[in-house]
Amino acid sequence: MDLTSPEDAGRPDVLAQVEKRFLPDLLADLAEICTGRRVDWAMPADDVFIRSMESHLEWPIALTRAWLLEQADKSKSFDSKLQEWMAGQDWTFVRKDPQEWYSALHRAASSLAYLLMNRVIFYKALYDKFEDLPRLEFKSSARTAADAYKNLQDLFDRAVKRSGDYEPLFYPHEHDWASALVFEAPTAIQAWKGVLRAIGGIDFRQVSSDVLGRIFQRLIGPEERHRYGQHFTGDDVVDLINAFCVRTPDAALIDPACGSGSFLVRAYYRKKFLKPRKSHVELLSELFGCDISLYPAHLATLNLAAREINEEANYPRVARRDFLHFKPDKEFCRLPSGPRAEETPIYLPPLDAVVANPPYVRQEKIEKKDKEYAKKILESAWPGLRISGRSDLHCYFWPSSARLLKEGGYFGFLTSSSWLDVEYGFQLQAWALQNFQILAIMESNAEPWFPDARVKTCVTIMRRCSDEATRMATLVKFAQFKKPLAEIIGVPATGNEPERQKAAQRLREEIESTAKDTSDDRMRTVVKTQSELWQMGVRASSILGSTPLLSPAASEEIPDDEEEDLEAETEEQPITTGEYAAGKWGRFVRAPDFYFEIMREFSSRFVPLGEITFIRRGITSGCDAFFMPRDITAEALERFESNREFRKQYGVDRLAAEDGRLKIVRAGDGSVHPIESQFLKPEVHSLMKVDRPIVRPEDFDRVVLLTANPLSKLEGTYISKYLKYGETHTFASKKSKPVPVPKRSTCKSRNPWYNLTNLVNPGFALWPMAQQYRHIIAENPENQICNHNLFDLINHDLSSAEVDALVAILNSTLVGLFKTFYGRFAGTEGNLKTEVVDVNLLEVPDPRNIPADLASKLKTALESMQERTVGRLVEEQLMDCHSPDRAKRIAEGPVVLSDELNQPDRRLLDDGVFELLGVADTKRRAKLVERLYIETAFHFRHIRVVEIQKMEQRKKSANRSFSTEELAADLWDAAELDDLTPLREWIHKQPGTSAAAIIPDASPAHLSHHAKMFDNETVYFGPDRKSHVICKSREDAELVKLLADLGVHGTVNVPAKPSESAELKQKIDDRIQVAKARFEELAAARTSLDEKQREVVELLLHWFVLGRPTAWPQ
């Protein structure tokens, strides 16, 4: 029932709903509860509180939202001020889209209401303690918004003075323009009176879990949490980490990224459980928190202080600061002390525990100066540690936090799982093995620990240890949870606190005491010694050889298209044989039991692929759109049958294309060019369109540009013209910077910049970097060249028969399943990415010394597969499903094999692979193949179901992210400039512009210094300065250069008199500056992101000068 006012309760439809549905349902529920038929009927206390609070806030939020909407439409000054305030909250929005604007105002109204509610809640907690505090209510004289706001501020001021504390929580003297807006609507004060009455009946001290954190989760939108890497952490995983790390009641601990205080609040209760008589002041003195953001740090302080309002010195040690800039010998925070509340510096003691859900921020979003500072400090604190510049933000928190631990201190982090398998994680692995006992690494297969985070997460528990023998003997428990932690723990966090703590401790003890691989319906634990993990990493150094690890630019996400023009800043990590190089630890928490059964029995028959092949990335061109155009020769010949039409269109004789001397190509920017065939070779750009395990030239329309000749030797050729075209065009995309091709970093490193010939070394097969539900490793019999999305597999010293067998083996279902435990998924979804290091370390059945008859069997199966379309390894009904509910129903049914898993040639191939592993009995091979197919179907079914759920979740929860074009379009009309005429037309209308100048379409424009005696009236264009315009005067030249810099090319009207040129130039400068100032003002009112502001202003200026396109750029 949608009720927005008291009068709504009397509507006939509402009364009918109450009579026919609400009351009967309520009485039926009460009957079941009273008779005992329904046992688990009660909602947890914190859920009751939050639901009640949200219900009471609905009315004031709706009133405020409606008032904001009305006022913004009425008053331009109010509208501008409101937008400025919203941008200051780090929100991005579109003003002219009614739906988006309504959503933004709803968010503003909700934020203001929740922020006020936090202070009201805490006042109530203090009111229960201090009887002489005034009741939480408005005075009868409070009739205006200003009166109501002052009334509450006075109450907050009284609370601060009476308690001698909590000024940072109440901030009664700070004036915030927006805070009082919640009382401005005509009936808002009445609505808030109802809220205050409701709060008056709640004892906040009885709510033990992180209630305010859950408010924080609702209040701060997913876009901001994603931007700052903040994710709310649930009580179950927090209690498990604390059970591992908080071993004694006197343990001092820190959460270096505390958010709203989940770990600190639950640690408070754990320490209280371990020593019930421990006082509130003692507990607070041993708990330290830090957060870079003001609001979460405020909530953490409030959350801890609210545990008990019976002490005068109720001072949580929560600092608002950048933890990565904190120096251990400096003060951590300041707290009031003494009768005058003077501030005393607080220093961190040696810590017994560090627990955290550190921020997850992709490395490319971290400021370079912050990376360099953190690297310098941490590498000096941990000699031998090398932090990759490609590391995500959470990686810096590991050594930064761990340096605060005393010997034997515990470390418990909830982070992205990527460190278990990716390049920057290998350095963390080595550091952890050399400084800690790694007690447990845990991951859930049953639930996401970040409900709104795409990133797969794991828990890491370690203990600081300086003794190498002790470290290397430690048993590392890799635990995979098959059920939600709430079910495994069994006691809710809001129930009996001692029983809850005992249950979490029992789970910890069960994991710790596991000495061998075990599995049941709750969890599976794989046990490895640290010595084993170390030896795996050292062996990897010999497998990878002299090939340096390359940390790629993209860490968690697969590109949506096949182009990858982004200038990937790769970082080389040299490998030294005998040192720790890499470990693929993710398989120990992710792979099914079947994988470990196979490896236990047949491990001696497997070999890392990098031991028998050389694996190299295909050509990284730096600009695929330029270097790898599409061959449209056949299309051109079919379209233009006469030589006259063909020459008119392409500038060359048709016969030259017919006889193969020339090819007609279309570059990535849509431009068409003739190029001599001798400089082009067929190129495999992606396996997206390959549907069988073989590639041939006729299957692709891409070619790659190959020449090492200097331009002087290419003079007069079509390829020379094409290269010159690349020197002046940017081929800009959302993944690349708008600079000419030779200036891209990858191209600048080559001599000449276009020479790709040294990168060509075709392999006998191609391994795709990005994969999903199909498994195809394409044979490459004609030595096709591939780009960086594919890897060439190059023969070391295998025989021809062994190479053929290896290609077949790589296309087997066993490898198709096992590769998923060596690669890295894009978050929790189905996009798998395998980098060169992953493929090198992937263990595959060894083809060396394969019997001739078995090699023939595998080859026959492969050749059959090469004649048909290879299908997906996931059942077809799930691929056609996009509903989470239907996907869940399908997943609850019996497993269904996909059509591909029923193909006779695939079964023949997989049977041969098990024969190669040493299974001689045909019946056992058949059973193993069937088991393999069931496991494969289950694996990909699970991935697909999670993918569908995540796609639906993003649709519902994610705030929309606006493109630069959308924001610019929204601001274009709002700019309200007097004249938006494009500059060329505007100049034409100016008096005296009767002359003309032809400005070349080349950049940059160069003009000699005015002091030069000669040549100071000539403007040169392009990097080689071959094009130029000779002007009549210096004033004319300066005008032409200005127009060229602004992007105006072709014929332009200019003044006939030099004196008028200087005047016109000044007018243009003034016009541009006025527009730029207005655009900057508007952009700052739409988004607080500096980079986004700059992009929007640049695009608006581009439109202002050249005219806005009739449609947004695609």
User: DSSP secondary structure string, 399-454?
Assistant: HHHHTTEEEEEEEEEEEEGGGGTSHHHHHHHHHHHHHEEEEEEEEESS--SSTT--
Determine, yes or no, domain membership for 528. yes
Determine, yes or no, domain membership for 137. yes
Q: What is the pLDDT of residues 882-903, one digit of tens each?
A: 888 888 888 888 999 999 999 9
Domain termination residue (choose one: 152, 177, 207)? 207
H-assigned helices in 246-323: 262-274, 280-285, 294-305
Asked whether the beta carbons of 721 and 673 are under 8 A apart, the reply is yes
pLDDT score of 1064: 94
Strands (DSSP E) contained in 606-764 are: 606-608, 613-617, 630-631, 662-666, 672-676, 680-684, 703-705
Task: State how far the Cα of 298 lies from the Cα of 166, in Å rounded to an integer.
Answer: 10
1059 and 916 in one domain?
Answer: no
CA–chain centroid gap for 432, Å, is 25
pLDDT score of 748: 86
804 and 716 in one domain?
Answer: no
194 and 276 in one domain?
Answer: no
**CATH number of the domain where residue 358 is located:** 3.40.50.150
1027 and 936 in one domain?
Answer: no
Nearest partner of 307 among 352, 340, 261, 341, judged by Cα: 261
Asked whether the beta carbons of 438 and 460 are under 8 A apart, the reply is yes
| Element spanning 475, H or E | strand 475-481
Number of alpha carbons in the 13 Å side-chain half-sphere of residue 72: 23
Identify the three-state secondary structure at position 290: strand
262 and 369 in one domain?
Answer: yes
160 and 284 in one domain?
Answer: no
- Report cis status (omega within 30 of 0) of the bond before 592: no
Residue 914 token pair: 């098990």
Determine, yes or no, domain membership for 643. yes
259 and 231 in one domain?
Answer: yes
219 and 203 in one domain?
Answer: no
Identify the three-state secondary structure at position 825: strand
Determine, yes or no, domain membership for 451. yes
723 and 634 in one domain?
Answer: yes
Q: Residue 360 carries which side chain, given as an amino acid letter?
A: Y
What are the Cα distances from residue 227, in Å, to 220, 221, 366, 618, 952?
A: 11, 10, 11, 33, 21
H-assigned helices in 35-91: 45-74, 76-88
Instruction: Report if pTM > 0.75.
Output: no
Task: State how far the Cα of 1049 lies from the Cα of 1106, in Å rounded to an integer.
Answer: 10
Task: State how far the Cα of 194 lies from the Cα of 917, in Å rounded to an integer.
Answer: 74
Identify the three-state secondary structure at position 922: helix
pLDDT score of 388: 65
Domain termination residue (choose one: 207, 225, 240)? 207
Task: State how far the Cα of 920 lies from the Cα of 274, in Å rounded to an integer.
Answer: 59
Residue 1018: beta bridge partners?
A: 1030
46 and 23 in one domain?
Answer: no
48 and 169 in one domain?
Answer: yes
Asked whether the beta carbons of 208 and 269 are under 8 A apart, the reply is yes
pLDDT < 50 regions, the chain: 208-209, 216, 219-230, 363-366, 452-453, 553-569, 828, 958, 1111-1114
Determine, yes or no, domain membership for 748. yes
Determine, yes or no, domain membership for 227. yes
pLDDT score of 314: 74
Domain termination residue (choose one: 493, 520, 539)? 539
- Residues of the domain holding 224: 212-539
934 and 866 in one domain?
Answer: yes
Determine, yes or no, domain membership for 1036. yes
Domain count, the chain: 6
Determine, yes or no, domain membership for 614. no
